[in-house]
Chain A
Amino acid sequence: AQSVSQHNHHVILSEAASLELGCNYSYGGTVNLFWYVQYPGQHLQLLLKYFSGDPLVKGIKGFEAEFIKSKFSFNLRKPSVQWSDTAEYFCASPTGANNLFFGTGTRLTVIP
């Protein structure tokens, strides 16, 4: 993929609600996709990555993402969010020029 886009800018959920954050990619040959999370005041951490194979990717902290080729999507999901999931989430894709193209990010606020 050459670029990604995220359309949810700010999502507010109550604890225990289910989460789905959207990410769409533009076609660019081999598709590799990442989800990163940035907790307040902390560095970007890799949540999960997709290279090939099983389109359902399991990540850390109970997150998963599903690669759907027909929809050019790689949405991030979590069945039950916690207050500690409050953070900014970034979808990203390698550009083929040894760097990552990041989406604009989705800020998630979880209300206790």
Chain B
Amino acid sequence: KAGVTQTPRYLIKTRGQQVTLSCSPISGHRSVSWYQQTPGQGLQFLFEYFSETQRNKGNFPGRFSGRQFSNSRSEMNVSTLELGDSALYLCASSLSGLYGYTFGSGTRLTVV
């Protein structure tokens, strides 16, 4: 079956702009979570959605938001981009967290 698909793979944005990233989970997976990966902070949890509801949120400012659609596809949005938002954003889907999470290839965002 197809894996987790993230688009786009690369993005370059200017400070102050906003950006939307997309994630299509594995078919049948209703949980989608997002992580930010940076060299300094490692992998940090952003938020998790299940059946269109945000169940959990990490410690990120309100500029980071997300949503999930009825087909389980998810988007995350970052408004008023800052240089520090440059990172690899990873999406993961799961049937049940206890059985593991499957990650997408990520979207590499560069803010200039």
Partner-B contacts on A (CB < 8 A): 32, 34, 36, 42-46, 49, 51, 90, 94-95, 97-105
For the A-B complex, the count of residue pairs with Cβ-Cβ distances under 8 Å equals 55
- Count B interface residues, CB 8 Å: 24
24 example contacts (A-B, Cβ-Cβ < 8 A) are as follows A34-B100, A43-B4, A44-B90, A46-B101, A51-B98, A90-B43, A94-B97, A95-B45, A97-B48, A97-B56, A98-B31, A98-B33, A98-B48, A98-B97, A99-B48, A99-B56, A99-B58, A100-B33, A100-B101, A101-B45, A102-B43, A103-B42, A105-B42, A105-B43
Partner-A contacts on B (CB < 8 A): 4, 31, 33, 35, 42-43, 45, 48, 50, 55-56, 58, 90, 92, 97-106
B33 contacts across to A, CB distance below 8 A: 98-100
B56 touches A98 (CB 8 A): yes
Bound-complex Cα distance A43 to B43 (A)? 13
- Which secondary structure dominates chain B's binding surface? strand
B50 contacts across to A, CB distance below 8 A: 98
A22 to chain B, nearest CB (A): 16
A99 contacts across to B, CB distance below 8 A: 33, 45, 48, 56, 58, 97
